Amino acid sequence: VSVVIPAYNEEKYLGETLDRLNEQEHHGFDFEVLVADAQSTDKTVEMAKKYGAIVISVPKINPATARQLAIEQSRGEIICCIDADTLVPKNHLSTVVNEFNNDPKAVGLTGIIEGSGGNRLVNFIYKWMNTLFSRLNFLLGKTGFQGQSFAFRKSAFLKINGFNTSFSTGEDFDLGCRMSIVGKIKLIPETFGISSKWRIKEGPLKTISRG
């Protein structure tokens, strides 16, 4: 498994994100973490190396380009993309691997994104608005990925030539929709990521609308 994290000046958040990844359960498989650094001017690179991540230097264009270049250098058969400020549960990678092992037709996965940093009501609203948004899209046949955390088979990614790197935002949603051409995209009832404080402060509607 390869975990790919695009980053630009993320020293405030990256350490905790990588710390969670280092605590992952990974029985029966290995994983690597690649941080696609878009010419950060803070201590993002030092932070990534401190936690044992592989740093891929990429041009500062957009997240789609950063992710694309890192995935091209990855070694995993399964790719997990997360944001630099997104925390994943300790069983995240094992959940992803088990889903793909149990369903050979599945090529992509997305799940529930929760929030942290707000009060209980704000976190609750954030979680369920994201959940309802995803379910509604799937009912409408729009199998887009939730950008904070999603996973796919690298073979399917390569078949569709990866991300549309002309997109400055929404490249994750677009990827999931296009990937449905080559296999099944699944929305599973598992927490796929916990969004950071600054996303909560943006407000649920503004955050969701970026997809």
98 pLDDT band, cuts 50/70/90, is: very high
* Tens-place pLDDT, residues 70-85: 999 999 999 999 999 9
Q: How far apart are CA 171 and CA 13, in angstroms?
A: 22
Residue 197 CA to residue 175 CA, distance in Å, equals 26
Strands (E), the chain: 2-7, 32-37, 54-57, 78-82, 106-115, 149-153, 184-195
Residue 114's pLDDT is: 83
Mean pLDDT score, 4-10: 97
* CB burial string 41-65: b at 16+ within 10 A, e below: eeebbebbeebebbbbebeeebbbb
Q: What does pLDDT average to over the chain?
A: 89
With beta carbons less than 8 A apart as the criterion, state whether 66 and 40 touch. no
pTM of the model: 0.88
pLDDT at residue 62 above 90? yes
* pLDDT band at 89; cut points 50, 70, 90: very high
Tell which wins on pLDDT, 133 or 49: 49
**Model confidence at 201: pLDDT above 80:** no
Average pLDDT for 36-53:
97
Average pLDDT on 95-111 reads 97
pLDDT in tens, 128-148: 677 777 788 888 888 999 889
Q: What pLDDT shows up at residue 56?
A: 98
> Would you say residue 208 has pLDDT above 50?
no
Stronger pLDDT, 140 or 105, i.e. the higher one: 105
